Amino acid sequence: MFNSLVFVFDVLFMNGASLIEHPLESRQEMLPALIPKEEEGRVRILQHEVGTTEAHIIDAIDAAVLDRQEGVIIKDPKSKYIPNGRGPEWIKLKPEYVDGVFDSLDVLIVGGYYGSGSRGGHNMISSYLCAVRDDTGRALDGKKWVTFCKFGTGFTFEQMGSFR
């Protein structure tokens, strides 16, 4: 089994009571009591920064770009939680070049490769061949699917064996 890291950034329900009417800053103050001991590699409270100027926002976006994140969300600390939505109190900012980059892409796995070298001899597929549909008619040999990448799973043999 592989470990996953959970980042907790808000609390909406505690001890049988809804907290969505409480302001964000109050809900965030409750987190250390709920997660008194962060477990390395398991649970961590997401760090946030309080900013009051345009320079703070620019610095946060620059840091997000350097960390290969999509952008930042600016939240009013006095805001209540809005289920299934955002209001003017929560604004998502992405660098200009990001628009369109994170659009969805339908990818089909069209092949698999058994490992070689240290990944060989385990009778498991260790990498996959992906394709996208080409409706333009310009694909080579009139094919409807065009391969464009090969990727590895990133899982260890032990993890892959547990998926069976």
pLDDT digits (tens, 9 = 90+) for 23-47: 999 999 998 888 877 666 678 888 8
Which regions of the chain does DSSP assign to beta strands (E)?
6-8, 13-14, 17-18, 43-45, 72-75, 90-93, 108-114, 125-133, 145-152
The DSSP secondary-structure symbol of 61 reads H
Mean pLDDT rounded to a whole number for the chain:
77
Strand order in the sheet with 108-114: 108-114, 125-133, 145-152
Residue with tokens 């900012």: 93
Q: Is the pTM of this model over 0.75?
A: no
Residue 55 confidence (pLDDT) above 70 = yes
Among 145, 151, 150, 149, smallest CA distance to 132 is for 145
- State yes or no: pLDDT of 2 exceeds 50: no
pLDDT confidence of residue 24? 93
The pLDDT value recorded for residue 50 is 87
CATH 3.30.470.30 segments of the chain: 6-98
CATH code assigned to 6-98: 3.30.470.30
